[in-house]
Every structure is written in C-alpha cells, then in structure tokens.
Amino acid sequence: MKRNVWTVGTLVLGLLLALPASAAKADRRQVRQQARIVQGVKSGELTGREAVRLQSQHRELRRDIHQARADDGRLDARERAGIRREQNQLNRRIHRQKHDGQSR
C-alpha cells in the first residue's frame, strides 16, 4: 500500500511539473484533486476502498477531458461547463469521503 501511495505521489508531482504555465484550468484542477486523494490516503482520512473509487472517478473525468479535446485540441464553452460540473461533483465526493469519520 505504501508503495502505491509513493507511486501516485510521484505521479502527481510529475504532472505538476510537466504542466506548462499556461495549462488549462481543468488540467490544474485535476492535478489538485489527485493530490487531495493522495493526501487523504497518506493521512488515513480515506480508506483503501474509498481511494480506489475516487481514483476511478478521477480517471473517468480525465478521459472525458481528453475526449472533449480530441476534435480540435480545445474545449468549447459547453464542454468546459460540463467538465466543471463533473469536477465539482468529484470535489464534493472527495470532501465527503475524507470527512466521513472512517479511517483505515
């Protein structure tokens, strides 16, 4: 389990460093949400099962962003609004899971 946390933490740090300064808000927010999940695992606020579920939802959202950009490399207003809505939902899920009183 600790190896997985270390691997994910390294991945998040790599993504933070790899994103150019002009990266889209959606990308930066994804990185921050990923870091919150990793921090929750490290601190024990998230159980293993919760972390796996949140990671899966995070991957789905990242896939949605990638698919939305597949056409022309950009996100139009409707796509940005949909992604923002999904990110808000994931943000609330992360908060609820981290503060639900369960610990590993």
- pLDDT mean across residues, the chain: 83
Tokens representing 51 are: 């972390």
- Residue 21, pLDDT > 60, answer no
pLDDT tens digits, 25-48: 888 999 999 999 999 999 999 999
Buried b (16+ CB within 10 A) or exposed e, 43-58: eebbbeebbeebbebb
Tokens representing 90 are: 């994931």
pLDDT tens digits, 57-79: 999 999 998 998 888 888 888 98
Q: Which residue has the tokens 């994931």?
A: 90
